[in-house]
Amino acid sequence: MTTHAAPDPARTTIWAVVLAVSVAHMLNDTAQSLLSALYPVLHDEFALSFAQIGFLGLAFQVTASALQPVVGFVTDRRPMPYAMAFGMGSSLAGILMLAFGQSYGALLAGSVALGMGSAVFHPEASRVARLASGGRFGAAQSFFQVGGNLGHAAGPLMAAFIVIPLGRPALGLFSLMALAGVILLARVGAWHAREMRAQVRARSAPPAATRIGRPRLVLVLGVLAILVFSKNIYTAGISSYFTFFVIDRFALSTQGAQLMLFVFLVASVLGVAAGGMIGDRIGVLWVIWISILGVLPFTLMLPHADLFWTGVLAAIIGFVISSAFPAIVVLAQELVPGRVGLIAGLFFGMAFGIGGIAAGVLGLVADARGIRFVFEICAWLPAFGLLAILLPRRRELLALG
């Protein structure tokens, strides 16, 4: 079931570089998550309508999602080692516009700048993590993605304890965080440039092609996309509405409900960390099977469990379902050699976009049918994991080396 070549013993994982892009990922996603956490402040200060708030989110989501595969495609053909630093610089500009802008247009421009930063950062950082992996592709992708998960969770906390009490200009403090990210990524870019020059001097062979034909490749990538959709729609439902669900079902306080969500988020971080490393050992296909389809019994039980088991199931679901994404990205990159940036941009962009769309759609469903109904229908989404039977086996892939 292992679908990629074993790590080359002559190569070693450069953990300092992997850690650097993971930290940068945390800084990048912290900045992004501050935008949604800032909505109540912007609503009150600028007397914005909910439609205007929605357009801020839409500007960010569309920019971040649509541009990622474009950036990946371009940099696959013409590598740009310092693109990540540029992306973080765009996020820095976005933070400053959101902190000190005096018009709705400035806020909209800040949202777009944050989206551009995300679009440039993710495909290039995923490429660098793979380059520094020493063949441990899953582990490197996991460490890279853990940084993003931590940043996504940290943003709302920082907004709650810093920005909301001190006011919108306090957001400017986070520009220092983004500036640190620019400096860090400039150093990573210098390492990446040296690696590129070394590869040119070594006259490396062109990327190997895959044995599977184009129709089969399109089918497999489509299956992986559907698996990403099912995973991210479910996690979007949990992230956006789990607190409302437990308040409605168990009459918890807001603080208690936030604690339940925190359990899910922490378990998700641990699952991302574990997924890639396990995939390096037993094969990414096993991880995909277990993570998507294997979580189905737990998601089906969640809407009907008591309070204690709801917490336990939330932890199990968060850990298991989050382990899939590193494995999916690694498998897709193995299937399309030489298109690391494009694949990373496509899958990170899809994950990002579908999460935002799903949150809005599920909100409409919750308004119409109730929050419990949302979790009852979302519980069946992991059944799409059955499509993993269409994924290629090792014999379908070109033996590397």
pLDDT band at residue 380, thresholds of 50, 70 and 90?
A: very high
Judged against a pLDDT cut of 70, whether residue 247 lies above it is answered with yes
Could you check whether 1-204 and 210-401 share the same CATH topology?
yes
In the predicted model, what is the mean pLDDT of residues 188-196?
A: 88
Q: What percent of the chain has pLDDT over 90?
A: 24
Q: Tell the CATH topology of 210-401.
A: Growth Hormone; Chain: A; (1.20.1250)
Chain segment 291-302, per-residue pLDDT in tens = 888 899 999 999
> Dihedral of CA 182/187/193/199: which sign?
negative
DSSP 8-state secondary structure symbol assigned to residue 292: I
- The pLDDT, as a whole number, for residue 212 is 64
Of the candidates 188, 62, 193, which has an alpha carbon nearest to the alpha carbon of residue 119? 62
In the predicted model, what is the mean pLDDT of residues 226-252?
A: 86
pTM passes above 0.95: no
- The pLDDT, as a whole number, for residue 397 is 52
- The pLDDT, as a whole number, for residue 4 is 44
Chain segment 45-69, per-residue pLDDT in tens = 888 876 787 788 778 878 888 888 8
Report the alpha-carbon distance of residue 17 to residue 21 in Å, rounded. Answer: 6
Top-confidence residue, 73 or 159 = 73
- The pLDDT, as a whole number, for residue 180 is 93
Judged against a pLDDT cut of 50, whether residue 27 lies above it is answered with yes
Report the alpha-carbon distance of residue 209 to residue 302 in Å, rounded. Answer: 43
186-190 own/partner pairs: CB under 8 Å, 24+ apart = 186/82, 186/85, 187/20, 188/17, 188/20, 188/21, 188/24, 188/84, 188/85, 188/128, 189/81, 189/82, 189/83, 189/84, 189/85, 190/81
Q: Kindly list the domain boundaries of the chain, sorted by start residue.
A: 1-204, 210-401
Three-state secondary structure readout of 319-357: HHHHCHHHHHHHHHHHHCCCCHHHHHHHHHHHHHHHHHH
Q: Locate 179 and state its tokens.
A: 């500036």
- The pLDDT, as a whole number, for residue 260 is 86
DSSP 8-state secondary structure symbol assigned to residue 393: P
> Dihedral of CA 334/228/284/217: which sign?
negative
CB 60 within 8 A of CB 114: yes
The amino acid present at 201, given as its one-letter code, is R
Report the alpha-carbon distance of residue 214 to residue 252 in Å, rounded. Answer: 52
Report the alpha-carbon distance of residue 306 to residue 254 in Å, rounded. Answer: 18
- The pLDDT, as a whole number, for residue 396 is 59
Report the alpha-carbon distance of residue 26 to residue 24 in Å, rounded. Answer: 5
Residue 2 φ/ψ, nearest 5 degrees: -70, 135
CB 327 within 8 A of CB 287: yes
In the predicted model, what is the mean pLDDT of residues 306-320?
A: 94
Chain segment 350-367, per-residue pLDDT in tens = 776 777 678 778 878 888
User: H or E element: which one contains 204?
Assistant: none
User: H or E element: which one contains 110?
Assistant: helix 104-131
The hierarchical CATH code for the domain 1-204 is 1.20.1250.20
Q: For the chain, give the mean pLDDT.
A: 82
Report the alpha-carbon distance of residue 126 to residue 144 in Å, rounded. Answer: 7
CB 220 within 8 A of CB 392: yes
The amino acid present at 19, given as its one-letter code, is L
Judged against a pLDDT cut of 50, whether residue 3 lies above it is answered with no
Judged against a pLDDT cut of 60, whether residue 8 lies above it is answered with no
In the predicted model, what is the mean pLDDT of residues 227-234?
A: 88
